[in-house]
Amino acid sequence: MDGLTISQLAKACEVNIETIRYYERRGLIPEPPRNKSGYRNFPESTVKDIQFIKRTQDLGFTLKEIKNLLNASNDEDFRSEQVHDFATSKIKEIEEKIQNMYRMNALLEDLAQKCPGPGILKNDCPIIKNFEGVKENG
């Protein structure tokens, strides 16, 4: 038999069968041909594609971005500068998220320091007041 069944593919890629079906629905991997019995036969190259998808997800790429990367990597006219530009753009996006996380962390640290501790009513809690958009005096 040529190709892999969906369960063989899932095992080879260490993913759930539903993940493979989801990738198919999203157009990340093509729907494979079926054998005479009606079972789908995934080409061996699908293992590589799913591993590509998983690695790029780990790097923070969205499925839409991954689809674009897969299309670029499978394109006969592949140009590395396209992928370089894409990666550079993703780095900037990640850096912005990191800066936002630092700001959120600083805000929460400031609010936690202002919290007088246990026994305070909700209306007197600086953290709740901030979440509700109430300005503090002073």
Q: At what angle do helices 17-25 and 6-13 cross, to 10 degrees?
A: 100
Residue 109 CA to residue 41 CA, distance in Å, equals 54
Q: Considering only CA atoms, which of 55, 76, 56, 79 is closest in space to residue 66?
A: 56
pLDDT of residue 48: 94
Specify the DSSP class assigned to residue 51.
H
Assign a CATH topology to domain 1-63: Multidrug-efflux Transporter Regulator; Chain: A; Domain 2 (1.10.1660)
Residue 117 CA to residue 96 CA, distance in Å, equals 33
Using one digit for the tens of pLDDT, what is the confidence trace for 18-48? 999 999 999 999 999 888 888 889 999 999 9
pLDDT of residue 22: 96
* Bridge partners (DSSP) listed for residue 34: 40
Q: Which amino acid is it at 48?
A: K
Q: In the chain, what are the domain boundaries?
A: 1-63, 79-138
CB 55 within 8 A of CB 47: no
Q: Considering only CA atoms, which of 2, 35, 28 is closest in space to residue 13?
A: 28
Q: Model-level pTM greater than 0.75?
A: no
- Phi and psi at 49, nearest 5°, equal -65, -45
CA distances from 131 to 13, 81, 98, 106, 128 (A): 43, 44, 21, 15, 5
Using one digit for the tens of pLDDT, what is the confidence trace for 44-93? 999 999 999 999 999 989 999 999 888 888 777 877 888 888 889 999 99
